[in-house]
Amino acid sequence: MKNPHLILAIVITFLVPKLAYPAGLPPWQFGMTKEQVASFKQFGPYKSFPNGDLETYNREYHGGKENVQFYFVNNKLVKIGIYLGEQLDQHKALPVVKRASAILEKDYGRLESPEITVPPTRGRFDADVFAMIAITNASIQGKTHFRGVRQPKDMQVWATIMSVPNIGKNNLAVTIFFQPK
């Protein structure tokens, strides 16, 4: 009779790597098809865009139900965006940018931004000042990006504040993106 411990060890050796979660935003994983993404009915309904991308407004993320958008290339999931706020004026954007900053700092460490330089004598901006500078930069330059310095090994996570022209004024959108490396 074969050794049951040996059989169990062999099964575990081949099964455990399959159970490891690949990069993405659970339960969604990069590389999934549109059909696979939409198969998680508990997060539906899903809306399809004319270009084939998907979105849902039914995903819990850091304490709130959020609009999650899925971007596909050749029917493979290549980027996920969590839209924390859209069509915001500068005043309404402030708490949303602060929330995005707090989420990224909590999950990924101290924030850095290619568009925002911290004076060397201070080392770090207070949350209100950082958010106001990020909003002002996005309003003038079109976008501001920031991310935590401790990035996951298999994906990039960052926030973008985008200026969105809208009939005579610019509104802001605040999004946290996930993309494989």
Mean pLDDT computed over 131-159: 94
* pTM, rounded to two decimals: 0.83
pLDDT of residue 81 exceeding 50, the answer is: yes
Give the pLDDT of residue 53: 94
Higher pLDDT, 39 or 167: 39
Mean pLDDT computed over 54-75: 94
Q: Where are the domains of the chain?
A: 24-180
pLDDT of residue 124 exceeding 80, the answer is: no
Q: Strands, E, within the chain: which ranges?
A: 24-25, 28-29, 46-48, 54-61, 64-73, 76-88, 111-112, 143-148, 155-166, 169-180
Please write the tens of the pLDDT for every residue from 19-54.
444 688 999 999 999 999 999 999 999 999 888 799
pLDDT of residue 121 exceeding 60, the answer is: no
